[in-house]
Every structure is written in structure tokens, then in C-alpha cells.
Amino acid sequence: MKLNSLLSNLVYVAAMTLAFASPVSAQRTAKNVTTEPKAVVFAQGLVAPWGMAVLPDGRVLVTQKSGEVRSVSADGKTLSAPLSGVPNVVDAGQGGLLGLALDPDFATQPWVYLSFSEADPTGGLRSGTAVFRARLQGNALVGGAVIFRMNEKVASNGHFGSRIVFARDKTMFVTLGDRQARGERGKAQQLDRHHGKVIRINRDGSIPADNPYVVKPVADALPELWSYGHRNPQGAALHPTTGELWVSEHGPQGGDEINIARATRNYGWPEISWGCEYGTSPIEKCIWAGGTTRAGMEQPITYWRPESIAPSGMIFYTGDKFPQWKGSLFVGALSGNAGGRQLWRLTLKGDTVVAREALFANLGERIRDVAQSPDGDVLLLSDSGKIFRVQR
């Protein structure tokens, strides 16, 4: 009887252990699953959005190519009416209302900066990149004025660049495209033109006294120039440790690049490239007519070939919510190729890209811009008019 009683007790204990252990194990598995980063729709209803910036109160300002700025509520449920006071834009091709940035002292000086394609005032189909600033007041932009415009309007609706990034000293970097037309792109190598450049200006549009071509003038070089030889830099972000400006650039057919835009450096376009002229076949074997390297011209930190990913907005992740991502560079992608329509995560060791990982391809979305929310989530702006929130 004692033996039978002992066996019964052991069976009971084992059964109860299994009964209580299984749910705990399932809970742990479920917890691990739920903590994996996932992209969920945060807001929708935007039309052809391009740039976004997160306000201190959690709202998100978004530009729409047609020439509108909308405000998304902090919970993502409400989309404001278009803000008044926005400049007139040329909404054609790649042009329209594009880049967006907030003043470094926005809490006390609520300036908003917009990059856009501006029409030639003399008429015709010519346009150029310009930067506008105004104060955000309620649902309006007030006291607005253009503080920068390209020194040459071009009959092209492509390659406006248009990202705006503030440096640590509160000067402003603006990326400018080569304007796409074959007859224009060579001006990316000319220091008296704004084509294919990164410029550095003060918040009011004036020229910083310590700009490289102010401190050490070069014949014909515009004083606002920072770097040159860029093709179409549609993404830009400031490195959180070094304070240097990193840019993403569209290559021609293949050859998309990530570069560190350093003062007076020449990034080679259109003399060298890791891509090919459109229509070149087979793309796997094509080589740029000018080659891929040349003395005095910078090499990219990383590049994509043979096919383009069409890189767009980008950020360095500095939050604590995803510790495995801290310090990573996130780059949106627009292309319909295998590497496009997803978010790229670049793992860095100093200035070296040691790994690249494609995320959220399952969304099937053209990711136009990337931002970080105050609580450390990642926001993805898609061409389809949605904002996705990457969270646990």
C-alpha cells in the first residue's frame, strides 16, 4: 500500500508539474514572439508623402508632393487639414514639396524648413530646388520666406535632392541633385553651379564664416558649397558620434551609394560610378564609361549593384527600445527590384559597413522616409500614404 501510495503521489506531482509548466513555456515563447520588431500601420490617408518630422509633442509633420503639409496626431488617428502658408511648388515628375526639418531650437523658435521644386519666375518649364522657412503657429506656417534657391533653373523634373539636416553647430546642410538631364549632370563637377552638391548655410540662409570655400577660396567656387560630385542624394543623416553628414544617393542603373559628405570632397559623379547607363545589358557585366575609381575622387562607404534599391530617407538609430539596433543606419528603399521596397539596416564599425540586412519586405511598400519617435520606435513613411510604426 505504501508503494502504491508513493507511486500515486509521484504520478500526481509529475502531472501537476506538466500542467503548470506547459503554460509557462508557452507564455515565454509567446513573449519572445511579441518582442520581435514588427511594423504596424500608425497612420494613413496621406497622398504622395515625401518627408516627415516628429514634433516634441509626438505629432508628425508630413510633406505631400502636391504642395501640402499635414499634421498627424500623436496617436496616429487624426490627420489635420493642410497647413496654410506653404509656398507654391512645381508638382511634376520627382518635383514638388519634398524635404522637411525642424529648427534645432524648435521648442522656443518653432521654425519649419521645407525643400521644394520652385518654378522659374520668368515662365517656361524650368525649375530648381529651393528652401523655405516659416514659423509653425497652430495649423499655419507664418512669416515664411525662401532662404535658398539653386542658381540655375533647369528644364527637368528630376533629381532635386532635397534633404535638410542640421549640424551640431545649428548650421544647415541641404542636398541638391544633378537635375537628371544628360546635358546638365556634368555640372555636378562645376563649383560655380549647385547641381549635384551638398551646401551648408545658416538658418536664415546666410553663409557660415567657416565654410570651406570661405576660409580657403577657390576660383569660381560658391561660398555655400560643402561637397560635390553627387548624383541625387535623397537621404541624409548626421552621425550621432562623429557629427558627420552621411548621404544616400541614387546611382544610374545600379550603383546606389552611401557616402560621408566631407568638406570639399569630390564624390565623382558623373565621371565615375558603380552603375551603368540606363538600358545597358546585361547589367551584371556593365562598367561605367569613366570607370569606378579615379584619383582625387571619393569611394562610397557601401554601394548596391548590379541592381538599384533606390535609397531614400535615412536615420541613425539612437533609441533604447531596440538595443540590437543601436548605432545602426536605417535606409529606406523605393525600387521594385529585389533590394527595394523595404528598410535596410546597416551595421557599422566606425565608418565601415560590416553587415547589411533587409527588413520588412513583406510590407511591399516603397519606403520614402524614416524617422525615430521620442520613445524609440522607428517610423516609416510609405509612398502609399501610410506611416508604419516599428515597435515590439
pLDDT tens, position by position, 158-170: 999 999 999 999 9
The whole-angstrom separation of Cα 158 and Cα 93 is 6
- Chain position carrying cell 522659374: 120
DSSP state of 189: G
**DSSP per-residue codes, 340-352:** -SSEEEEEEETTE
Residue 303: pLDDT over 90? yes
Q: Three cell numbers at 247? A: 548621404
The whole-angstrom separation of Cα 24 and Cα 226 is 58
- Annotation says 195 is catalytic: no
Contact assessment for residue 255 and residue 303, using Cβ atoms and an 8 Å cutoff: yes
Maximum Cα–Cα distance for the chain, whole Å? 107
Residue 154: pLDDT over 90? yes
Q: How many CB atoms lie within 10 A of CB 197?
A: 28
- Helix H or strand E segment including 358: strand 352-359
The average pLDDT across 47-65 equals 97
The whole-angstrom separation of Cα 236 and Cα 41 is 24
The whole-angstrom separation of Cα 93 and Cα 96 is 8
Nearest alpha-carbon partner for 232 in 94, 113, 385: 94
pLDDT in tens, 218-247: 999 999 999 999 999 999 999 999 999 999
Residue 33: pLDDT over 60? no
Helices (H), the chain: 2-34, 182-185, 212-215
What Cα–Cα distance (Å) separates residue 100 from each residue in 64, 97, 353? 10, 9, 27
Q: Is the dihedral of CA 63, 64, 70, 76 positive or negative?
A: negative
Where are any strands of DSSP class E within 196-340?
A: 197-201, 225-228, 233-238, 245-249, 256-261, 302-304, 311-316, 329-333
The residues facing 183 across adjacent strands are none
What Cα–Cα distance (Å) separates residue 49 from each residue in 181, 214, 293, 308, 313? 24, 36, 36, 21, 12
Helix/strand/coil for 323: helix
The whole-angstrom separation of Cα 133 and Cα 86 is 9
CB-side neighbour CA atoms (13 Å) of 104: 14
Q: Three cell numbers at 390? A: 516599428
Helix/strand/coil for 373: coil
Residue 172: pLDDT over 90? yes
Q: Three cell numbers at 354? A: 560590416
Supply the pLDDT for residue 134: 98
Supply the pLDDT for residue 47: 98
According to DSSP, the β-strands at 387-391 and 38-43 are: antiparallel
The average pLDDT across 84-93 equals 98
The whole-angstrom separation of Cα 68 and Cα 83 is 7
Measured in residues, the chain has a length of 392
Residue 104: pLDDT over 90? yes
Average pLDDT, the chain: 92
The average pLDDT across 91-96 equals 98
Supply the pLDDT for residue 22: 29
Q: Identify the weakest region by mean pLDDT among 45-49, 124-128, 327-331, 355-359.
A: 124-128
The average pLDDT across 301-320 equals 97
Please tell me which residue in 159, 194, 195, 230 is annotated as part of the active site: 159
- CA geometry: angle 242, 245, 248, nearest 5 deg: 130
